[in-house]
Amino acid sequence: MQETKTNDMVLYHGYRVYRDGRILSKRGREIQSYYFTYPNSHVSLTIDGKVVKKNKALLIYNLFSEAPADTSINVLRFKDGNTANADFDNLYLVSRKEHYKECREQGRGSNRFDAKTKKKIRREYYGKNVSLRALCSKYGCSLLTIQKIVNQT
């Protein structure tokens, strides 16, 4: 439901979504993003009386791009590497194949940790009852990466 669209702003279900990454409520307050898969990744919006969780960067990309992102074959990336910067000009798509190839080459994801560190992460999680998000912050990785490590035997 897009009612109004300009170069810099889209009215999306009563919310004003700006190209620079800001989302304002119906009352004019900025919607704060929160940690879901990575810091500042999601926002909660009320659409048709229901609270809906949306990936902030993906929402902005889809509203301002010519063609919406198909996340089954593409991954949305950040040019400056800062996941908190949801400015449309900072977002771009790469194929999943290319994304995973780069991750393997750069040693990102669960592949970047050696067996000793993975064991330490599992011991912290199961022994000290540390939250997954706390481990994400401590080791500087995504929630999915920590979940994969913790669930390995």
Chain-centroid distance of CA 71 in Å reads 12
pTM higher than 0.75: no
CB 43 within 8 A of CB 35: no
State the first-to-last Cα distance of the chain, in angstroms, to the nearest integer: 46
* % of the chain with per-residue pLDDT over 70: 89
pLDDT tens for 37-61 read: 676 788 999 999 999 999 999 999 9
The pLDDT-based confidence of 111 (bands split at 50, 70, 90) is low
All domains of the chain in start order, with CATH: 2-103 (3.90.75.20), 109-151 (no CATH)
